[in-house]
């Protein structure tokens, strides 16, 4: 009898997790992108309907809406910016109507507004939309993009041919003393370690995101098994932010942003900023959540410490892990995710998180508020359907005396003289 797909799938995850544990992923350390990139990408909101005026207008909106002040530093073009054919010398050229002023003029305007500029290409002969890819033109395109046009970031699509462009970027960067962010769009876990960790600053781990809750939970589920792959200079890319594009409730939008930020994914806005609501803008500018994404001391992602609805290590696209935690420079980060369609209480013992010490009490600093002190456990009551709770727990000293049982882990409670105590 052949093994089920599920058993093979989970066995593969277990092996992969073991490999990552033995060999932590280190991203491309070339002096840039130590932290996740914050910025804007044109694809989700506009796809091929882009031109130079739209890009400059978007950069100005990011500035006027306070997104630049919140840390969003990049304005990136996606597919469809080029002419369909290269020149006789093999050069790729921008669309002469939609980018009539040329790319150097565009990056000059973006830089003058205080942003960095990003561009898109593909590892094959063609991009996904049918424009020229960089295959067999890697060195030429790298010089064009970065040295001639002045771009600072490259989103590179398709799969399994990244070494050529990685080498080209390294050569151009060294020759012209440039610092370039290289973002790989791979869409598959098998390449996360084989390709991305050696060649890029971030690597896509799934297919394109959709503006709906099932798409978000599937991406969260997938990435819950590979959080070890994220640290300084290299990280899992969960795809662009879909906030404000319709299809998500306000609570779902908060969960989307919180999960992406705390898993240390790049945060690239994909919204029509001219139509953005104050609610969505408030989510994007949540300074407490952004500070954890941009933590200069702790580069790792949060990870599940309990799955919740399902047994631990269960892969379920509809009901991913609910209980997550990780370190930060200011305390232990906790994310509680309600994947149910109705309100739910989310309870956990503090010491379930590997980052929390037994025998201590913790002050709960949540976004914009101080919710008091937690001792041994915490309950988030009536979390909204598809909603999220984000906590930052700081050590607040010894537990109060006379708490029963004597220890948080009561069945392994030992007194100073070595004898077992408690219930």
Residue positions annotated with a catalytic role: 157, 208
Closest CA relative to residue 284, chosen from 310, 318, 260:
260
E strand or H helix at 388: strand 388-398
Give the span between the Cα atoms of 372 and 313, in whole angstroms. 32
Which tokens is 38 given? 């914050």
Which tokens is 48 given? 């091929």
Which tokens is 43 given? 């694809």
Give the span between the Cα atoms of 225 and 228, in whole angstroms. 8
Closest CA relative to residue 220, chosen from 99, 343, 110, 315:
315
CB 405, CB 422: distance < 8 Å: yes
Q: Which residues contact 71 (CB under 8 A, 6 or more apart)?
A: 38, 290, 294
Q: In DSSP terms, which residues pair with 374 in a beta bridge?
A: 362
- ∠21-208-249 over CA atoms, to 5°? 100
Which tokens is 19 given? 């490999």
CB 120, CB 148: distance < 8 Å: no
CB 199, CB 162: distance < 8 Å: yes
Task: Kindly provide the residue ranges of all beta strands, DSSP E only, lying in 262-386, ordered along the sequence.
Answer: 267-269, 303-306, 323-328, 331-337, 344-349, 360-366, 369-375, 377-383
DSSP label at residue 145: I
Give the span between the Cα atoms of 40 and 269, in whole angstroms. 4
Q: Which residues contact 281 (CB under 8 A, 6 or more apart)?
A: 65, 66, 67
Give the span between the Cα atoms of 266 and 371, in whole angstroms. 29
């Amino acid at each position: 009898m052949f093994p089920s797909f599920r058993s093979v799938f989970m066995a593969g995850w277990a092996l992969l997790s073991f490999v990552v544990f033995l060999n932590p992923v280190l991203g491309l350390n070339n002096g840039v992108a130590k932290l996740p990139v914050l910025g804007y990408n044109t694809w989700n909101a506009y796809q091929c309907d882009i031109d130079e005026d739209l890009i400059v207008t978007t950069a100005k909106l990011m500035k006027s809406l306070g997104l630049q002040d919140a840390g969003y530093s990049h304005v990136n073009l996606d597919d469809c910016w080029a002419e369909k054919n290269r020149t006789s010398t093999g050069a790729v050229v921008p669309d002469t109507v939609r980018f009539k002023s040329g790319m150097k003029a565009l990056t000059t305007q973006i830089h003058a507004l205080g942003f960095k500029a990003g561009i898109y290409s593909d590892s094959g002969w063609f991009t996904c939309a049918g424009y020229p890819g960089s295959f067999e033109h890697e060195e030429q395109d790298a010089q064009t993009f970065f040295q001639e046009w002045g771009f600072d970031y490259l989103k590179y699509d398709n799969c399994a041919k990244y070494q050529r462009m990685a080498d080209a970027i390294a050569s151009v960067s060294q020759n012209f003393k440039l610092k370039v962010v290289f973002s790989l769009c791979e869409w598959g876990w098998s390449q996360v370690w084989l390709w991305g960790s050696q060649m890029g600053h971030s690597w896509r781990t799934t297919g394109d995101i959709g503006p709906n809750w099932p798409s978000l939970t599937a991406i969260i589920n997938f990435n819950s098994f590979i959080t070890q792959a994220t640290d300084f200079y290299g990280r899992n890319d969960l795809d662009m932010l879909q906030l404000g594009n319709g299809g998500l409730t306000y609570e779902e939008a908060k969960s989307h942003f919180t999960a992406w930020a705390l898993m240390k994914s790049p945060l690239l806005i994909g919204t029509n900023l001219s139509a953005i609501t104050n609610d969505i803008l408030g989510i994007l500018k949540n300074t407490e959540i952004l500070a954890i994404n941009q933590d200069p001391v702790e580069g790792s992602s949060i990870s599940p410490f309990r799955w919740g609805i399902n047994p631990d290590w269960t892969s379920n696209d509809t009901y991913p892990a609910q209980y997550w935690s990780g370190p930060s420079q200011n305390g232990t980060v906790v994310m509680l995710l309600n994947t149910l369609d109705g309100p739910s209480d989310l309870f956990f013992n503090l010491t379930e998180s590997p980052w929390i010490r037994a025998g201590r009490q913790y002050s709960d600093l949540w976004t914009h508020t101080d919710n008091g002190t937690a001792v041994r456990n915490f309950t988030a009551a009536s979390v909204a359907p598809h909603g999220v709770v984000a906590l930052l727990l700081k050590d607040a000293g010894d537990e109060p005396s006379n708490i029963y049982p004597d220890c948080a882990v009561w069945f392994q409670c030992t007194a100073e003289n070595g004898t077992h105590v408690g219930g």
